[in-house]
Amino acid sequence: MRPWQAGTLPTARPDDAVRRLAATGIPMLLLQGRQDMTFPAALAVEAAASLPAAQVVLIDEAGHMAHVDRPRVWLDAVADFLT
């Protein structure tokens, strides 16, 4: 708790996060509501372009809570990714 209280915790967003994720080679699914106003879909597309093992799925008629807005589409995308 002392580092937290002192405000000396390292950032949760390292400068080299994209490079570090890309280096893992782990398949990643970026599942995004196309109408998300909190995290625009263009950012997911941009991230996927920087991560060779990433796949982006944009869900139409869904916002930030795509799993609530379009649960069947969201679950199908997850199932397709896992198979």
Number of domains making up the chain: 1
Tokens representing residue 62 in the block: 């869904």
CB atoms within 10 A of CB 23: 12
Q: What is the value of pTM for the model shown?
A: 0.77
Say if residue 3's pLDDT is above 80: no
Task: With respect to residue 31, please indicate whether it lies within any of the assigned structural domains.
Answer: yes
Tokens representing residue 39 in the block: 């995290």
pLDDT bucket at 1, cuts 50 / 70 / 90: confident
Task: With respect to residue 15, please indicate whether it lies within any of the assigned structural domains.
Answer: no
Task: With respect to residue 22, please indicate whether it lies within any of the assigned structural domains.
Answer: no
Q: Which residue has the higher pLDDT, 82 or 14?
A: 82
Task: With respect to residue 16, please indicate whether it lies within any of the assigned structural domains.
Answer: no
Can you give the residue range of the structural domain that contains 57? 27-83
